[in-house]
Structure 1
Amino acid sequence: MPELVQAYRQAAGQGPRYAELGVAFAPTEEEGAEAALSTNRWSVGGWKVMSELPNPDRYVKAVREYTDAGYDRVVLMNAGPDMDAFLDFYAGELDPLLRAGS
């Protein structure tokens, strides 16, 4: 990942650097995996989707991999079955942790 940011900067790139992190927020890991499979079959190349339970530490670690590589915008693409639950989790637990480390 850092190689892409470096190449962008060397090519005079000056705008924001976006990355997408696929997640499948669900009550169980099995439901998350099933949701990721059913909604991301188009990803023949193996788009990695993190099918995780509501565990902020794992999300923070995954986002940090991108920010440490030089990305300044990380989009969480949720493939999970309950978008409202994911948004509540993000707003109530994840966002404060991510902003505290920025």
Structure 2
Amino acid sequence: MAVSGQRSCALAGRLADLVIATEPKAELLDAFDRHGGQGKARVGQLPVCYDPDREAAVARAHDQFRWFGSGWKVNAELPHPDSFASATRFVRAGDVAASIPCGGDPADFVEAVRPYAEAGFTEIALVQIGGESQPAYLDWSEKTLLPALRDAFGGPDGR
């Protein structure tokens, strides 16, 4: 169950098999635990935009995900696609690049995951931006990103 505040954490702790959050806030996990979430999976969800051409990745992220920087509270109140367009019309490509790892340097992605690991998340869901880039992203992830993440945070082999 996705959470964003105390009420949703209380529901998730009681009812869900896991918790999902888009912000690396330890207080969300603490509230989840207080309401029965101890021992359940904790998933951090993070948008990413892989492309060997960093500028192309930033442009794609800006085009398709510029609303991400507004945060859950703002996005939850926007009723229509036109509202999203209005709310994000002043978001620059640099703003997006500051909040979403873009390009092909695995170190940028590792550093974006780090706050989730430090907050106590047990899993990370990386959401690749751009349908046409999925095959290249999956190949790069297998060969480059996943080994870098395992080196930094451990992995399924128990490290």
Q: Give the TM-score of the pair, scaled to structure 1.
A: 0.81
Structure 1 stretches of 4+ with a deviation exceeding 4 A read 41-44, 46-49
Correspondence 1:1-102 to 2 at 5 A? 1-14=25-38, 15-40=40-65, 43=68, 45-46=70-71, 50-80=100-130, 81-100=132-151, 101-102=153-154
CA distance, structure 2, for counterparts of residue 43 and residue 3 of structure 1 = 21
CA distance, structure 1, for counterparts of residue 124 and residue 69 of structure 2 = 22
Structure 2 portions without partners, runs of 5+? 1-24, 73-95, 155-159
CA distance, structure 2, for counterparts of residue 96 and residue 51 of structure 1 = 17
CA contact (8 A) 1:24 1:78 kept: yes
CA distance, structure 2, for counterparts of residue 23 and residue 68 of structure 1 = 19
Query: SS in structure 2 opposite 1:24?
Result: strand
Question: Alignment RMSD, CA only?
Answer: 2.3
Greater RCO, 1 or 2 (C-alpha within 8 Å, sep 6+): 1
- Residue-by-residue CA offset, 1:20-39 (whole Å, 9 max, x unaligned): 11111123232112212332
Change (3 A) 1:67 1:55: same
Structure 1 portions without partners, runs of 5+? none
Change (3 A) 1:51 1:63: closer
CA distance, structure 2, for counterparts of residue 41 and residue 23 of structure 1 = 12
Identical positions, percent: 31
Change (3 A) 1:72 1:90: same
Q: Which has the larger radius of gyration?
A: 2
CA distance, structure 2, for counterparts of residue 8 and residue 92 of structure 1 = 34
Select the structure that is richer in helix: 2
Output the amino acid matched with 1:56: P
Query: SS in structure 2 opposite 1:61?
Result: helix
Change (3 A) 1:43 1:65: closer
26-35 vs 82-91, which deviates more? 26-35
